[in-house]
Structure 1
Amino acid sequence: MIKRISIVGCGWLGLPLAQSLLQQGFHILGSRRQLAELDELHHLGIEAYQLELNPKIDSNNIAALLDCDLLIINIPPRRKTNTAEFHIAQIQHLLDAAERYQVKRVLFISSTSVYGAQQGLVDESAPRQPETNSGIALKQIEDDLLNRQAFQASVLRFSGLVGGQRKPGRFLSGKTVSGASSPVNIIHRDDCIALISRLIQRDQWGECFNACCDQHPSKQAFYNLAAQQLGVAPPQFDEQGGSNKVISNHKIKSSLNYQFQFPDPMAWLQANKKEAE
């Protein structure tokens, strides 16, 4: 039975996730990279510890942080500074420690970037052919995690993340962008949190899941409306280099009996626009 959950990475997603799980009655442990950042977590009722992966573990108490029934790893590669090899080593050291301290369940937050530039409908049976450093790192971490016998593990692959301070109108503002008619694959933070909660409630492990909105508007329609909503310059689009990649969420919806809170990105933008008026 899951009672104690440790979240490595209490940032944009991890912090509101921790707050949601606290409200559901779980005991939450969490990490930040600097000791000075722990007070915020303590004030929220989170048992907080310092953890930096350099790539080896630098922590004020790794044994206490890993005294949990479930470890959620939510630390994406730092695109500007980390090589794929560095991020792989970071997570390997953390997984080695999880084995030493006999953690029984691990949930790894990954990305649909592991599929690379595949075209058409992409579900969990599709081959992973990453092209970016972060995608390459995530694929190898997924393989390492799922091949370990010491714990049960699942992987959640999120598409483009929006919500909170991640406002898509800023993503491409003023830029020249290819593929005007390409479909958008995104997911709202509230759905990310709800999906993680549902997976924990069902105690469902040993699987990989894609997580993405039901609807996939064109890049031009979505980002023009997002820019208009914020009052910033819209992107300039052309049809060159387009993609028809659509991430399927069928497996996670059927396996977890889940209906998305924000299934339509355009409807979400329209609702935000009305709230601002």
Structure 2
Amino acid sequence: MIKRISIVGCGWLGLPLAKSLLQDGYHVLGSRRELNALAELSDQGIEAYQLDLIPHIVSNDIRALLKCDLLLINIPPGRKTNTAEFHIAQIKALLLAAKQQQVKKILFISSTSVYGAQQGVVDEVTTRHAESTSGKALKHIEDELLNSRDFQASVLRFSGLVGGHRKPGRFLSGKTVSGPLSPINIIHRSDCIGLISQLIKRDVWGEQFNASADLHPSKQAFYSLAAEQLGLAPPNFVEGASSTKVITNQKIKASLAYQFHYPDPMKWLQANIQEAE
């Protein structure tokens, strides 16, 4: 039974997730890279530890951080150290420490970027053709975890992330963008948290899931409205090859009996929801 959950990476997603899990009655441990950032976690009731991966472990107490029933790894590849090898080395160092501390269950937060520029409907049996540096790193780590004999692991791949300070109106404002009719694949932070919570409650391991909102409006419709609502210049859309890539969420909805809070990205924008940063 899962009682203690360690979240490596308590930032935009990890911190509100930790707060939600605390409300659900779990004992939550969390990490930040800098020691002086731990007070923010402690003030929320999170057992806080410093952890940096450079790529070896730098921590004030890695053993205590990994004293858990479930390790949730939520650290995307860094932009400054933008090599697949570096991020793979980071996660390998963390997994070795987790093995030494006899962690049994791992939830790895990945990205649908592992599929590259696929066309058409993309589901969990679609071959992953990662193209970006980060996508290649995530694919490698996914394979290592899903084939591991040391852990019970599941992989959760999120599409484009929105919510909080990630306001999509800022993403393409004033830029020249091609493929106006391309469908978008996004997911709101509230649904990221809801899906993670449900996966933990149902104790689902050895699985891989894709997560995106139910509906996929066109790039032009979504980002034009998003910019308008923030009073920003809309993107300048030009004709060009449109993607047909659509990430389907059917498996995760069925497996976890989950209904999305924000299934329609356009309705979320139209509601003009004011969110905390």
Matched, 1:50 2:82: no
* Residue number in structure 2 paired with 1:101: 101
Mapping of residues 26-105 of structure 1, within 5 Å: 26-105=26-105
3-state secondary structure, aligned to 1:231: coil
* Residue number in structure 1 paired with 2:200: 200
**Aligned residue type for 2:127:** P
User: For 1:164-193, what per-residue CA distance to the aligned partner results, in whole angstroms no more than 9, with x for missing partners?
Assistant: 110000000110011100000000000000
Which whole-Å CA distance do the structure 2 matches of 1:172 and 1:162 have between them?
13
In the alignment, structure 2 segments of 5+ residues that lack a partner are: none
* Residue number in structure 2 paired with 1:124: 124
In the alignment, structure 1 segments of 5+ residues that lack a partner are: none
**Contact 1:95–1:145 at 8 Å: present in 2 too?**
no
User: For 1:195-216, what per-residue CA distance to the aligned partner results, in whole angstroms no more than 9, with x for missing partners?
Assistant: 0000000001000000000000
* Residue number in structure 2 paired with 1:231: 231
Matched, 1:146 2:146: yes
3-state secondary structure, aligned to 1:76: coil
**Aligned residue type for 1:233:** A
| Aligned-pair CA distance for 1:7 | 0.1
User: For 1:45-88, what per-residue CA distance to the aligned partner results, in whole angstroms no more than 9, with x for missing partners?
Assistant: 00000000000001000000000000000000112432111001
3-state secondary structure, aligned to 1:209: strand
Sequence identity percentage:
73
* Residue number in structure 1 paired with 2:13: 13
User: For 1:72-120, what per-residue CA distance to the aligned partner results, in whole angstroms no more than 9, with x for missing partners?
Assistant: 0000011243211100100011011111100010000000000000100
The two structures have a TM-score, normalised by structure 1, of 0.98
- Segments of 4+ in structure 1 off by > 3 A? none
RMSD value, Cα: 1.1
- The verdict on how the C-alpha distance between 1:269 and 1:65 changes in structure 2, with shifts beyond 3 A counting, is same
**Contact 1:229–1:273 at 8 Å: present in 2 too?**
no
Which whole-Å CA distance do the structure 2 matches of 1:8 and 1:273 have between them?
29
* Residue number in structure 2 paired with 1:110: 110
